[in-house]
Chains A and B, each alone.
Chain A
Amino acid sequence: MTIAFAAAIGHAPGWVAWTDRATDDQQANLAAGVEALRESFIAANVDTLILLTSEHWANFFLDHMSPWVVGRGDAFEGPIEQWLKIPKTAIPGDPALANAIVERAYANGVEPGFSYELKLDHGSVVPLSFLTPQLDVPLVPVFFNTLGAPQPSPGRCHALGRAIGEVARASDKRIGIIATGGMSHDPGERGHGVIDSAFDRRFLAEMVRGDTAALTRYSIADLNAAGAGTIELIAWIALAGALGTFSGEVLAYEAVVGWATGMGIMRLEQTG
């Protein structure tokens, strides 16, 4: 079976918690983009979502960092932030699919960590709140270390994504894959509010034309040069790996200074 749904989407907490710091035009453009994505999501009739998401010190700290951690739990609680104004809930997991991802990855020579107990923060729940407002679609979260150096390289993230894509295509279920995070931002750092939109537009163009060579050529330093949070785009590169041969469509892009991030919304599909 092909991958039923694929998307990449920003997860700025401001999108839900301080929406009005974006201009009216930005809010309208992002709302239209995510509504178009939601319509595609509903039409895809997804059974389980694999969420490629960023660690933000919610689950892990420097006492133990893995490059990636696959969530094998029965359910995942979130959001942990009360100020996000989204009621806390428990989103069901899909342990069988999570196990299949871990096993396939190890067989392919890519070894993610795994956990039966992971919490979700804005990095997961903000995009889900738009696409699955009831927060009830079963989920396999895959957390990426976007914090403690060294982080996994784009090339290795692409390889992990390839294993995830193999599992998604082999599943009897209809699987959706969503990459969250990015784009250019430097949250809490000296460049907070500075957005390299030229970088973002170049990266989006590479995702649109399915340019695997360009995407896997990025170094961590290249991503960091557009702000410390830009490294979250390694999840987007993993999504490219899951899709293999693909193309994408930008549903919205806005450099939202008030949310301190470049916000991209893309729909993608396998083409080969």
Chain B
Amino acid sequence: MSAYTLQKLIRAINSDPAVRARFVEAPEALVGEWALSEEERTALVSRDYGALYRLGVHGLLLRPFSILHDLPEQSYLEMIRGRAS
């Protein structure tokens, strides 16, 4: 499993209300503090679930992250299966 730091940040957003609030208010600032690739930063800030999945984020981190943002299950599945942009 790759994308260690990316997954660590997503887990922090999912589980720590303070980190979550920062992600909502100023995602670029938060994401800039973590050692991520440009591709990872862009995918996370734009909440590109398909890209995050392809970058190696585990489903039990990514689906809870998407639920935080009220993404319906069917939309989530279409994105990670690559049937939506």
**Cβ contact within 8 Å between A57 and B77:** no
Q: Is the interface of A mostly helix, strand, loop or mixed?
A: loop
**Cβ contact within 8 Å between A192 and B4:** no
B51 / chain A contacts, CB cutoff of 8 Å: none
**Cβ contact within 8 Å between A62 and B60:** no
CA of A192 to CA of B49, assembled, Å:
15
B11 / chain A contacts, CB cutoff of 8 Å: 57, 61
**Cβ contact within 8 Å between A63 and B60:** no
Q: Is the interface of B mostly helix, strand, loop or mixed?
A: helix
Within 8 A of B (CB), among A217-236: 228
**Cβ contact within 8 Å between B8 and A62:** yes
Within 8 A of B (CB), among A156-191: 186-190
**Cβ contact within 8 Å between B8 and A61:** yes
Task: Determine the residue in chain B with the shortest Cβ distance to A148.
Answer: B1
A62 / chain B contacts, CB cutoff of 8 Å: 1, 4, 7-8
Known: A61-B8, A62-B7, A62-B8. A147 touches B60 (CB 8 A): yes
B8 / chain A contacts, CB cutoff of 8 Å: 61-63
Within 8 A of B (CB), among A54-69: 56-57, 61-63
User: B81 near A: Cβ within 8 Å?
Assistant: yes
User: A43 near B: Cβ within 8 Å?
Assistant: no
Q: Which size class do A's interface residues fall under?
A: 10 to 19
User: B80 near A: Cβ within 8 Å?
Assistant: yes
A188 / chain B contacts, CB cutoff of 8 Å: 58-64
Distance from B8 Cβ to chain A, minimum over Cβ atoms (Å): 7
A61 / chain B contacts, CB cutoff of 8 Å: 7-8, 11
CA of A188 to CA of B65, assembled, Å:
10
Task: Determine the residue in chain B with the shortest Cβ distance to A81.
Answer: B64
**Cβ contact within 8 Å between B81 and A190:** yes
Known: A61-B11, A148-B1. A187 touches B77 (CB 8 A): no
Distance from B68 Cβ to chain A, minimum over Cβ atoms (Å): 11
B80 / chain A contacts, CB cutoff of 8 Å: 189-190
CA of A61 to CA of B12, assembled, Å:
11
User: A149 near B: Cβ within 8 Å?
Assistant: yes
CA of A188 to CA of B73, assembled, Å:
9
**Cβ contact within 8 Å between B77 and A192:** yes
**Cβ contact within 8 Å between A149 and B1:** yes
User: A244 near B: Cβ within 8 Å?
Assistant: no
Distance from B9 Cβ to chain A, minimum over Cβ atoms (Å): 11
CA of A187 to CA of B77, assembled, Å:
11
Contact partner of A57 (CB less than 8 A), chosen from B4, B61, B73, is B61
User: A193 near B: Cβ within 8 Å?
Assistant: yes
**Cβ contact within 8 Å between B7 and A193:** no
Distance from B67 Cβ to chain A, minimum over Cβ atoms (Å): 8
Distance from A176 Cβ to chain B, minimum over Cβ atoms (Å): 28
**Cβ contact within 8 Å between A189 and B1:** no
Q: List 14 A-B contacts (CB under 8 A).
A: A61-B7, A61-B11, A62-B1, A62-B4, A62-B8, A147-B58, A147-B60, A187-B60, A188-B59, A188-B60, A189-B59, A190-B81, A192-B59, A192-B77
B residues apposed to A, CB below 8 Å? 1, 4, 7-8, 11, 58-64, 73, 77, 80-81
Closest 4 interchain pairs by CB? A188-B59, A188-B63, A189-B59, A188-B60
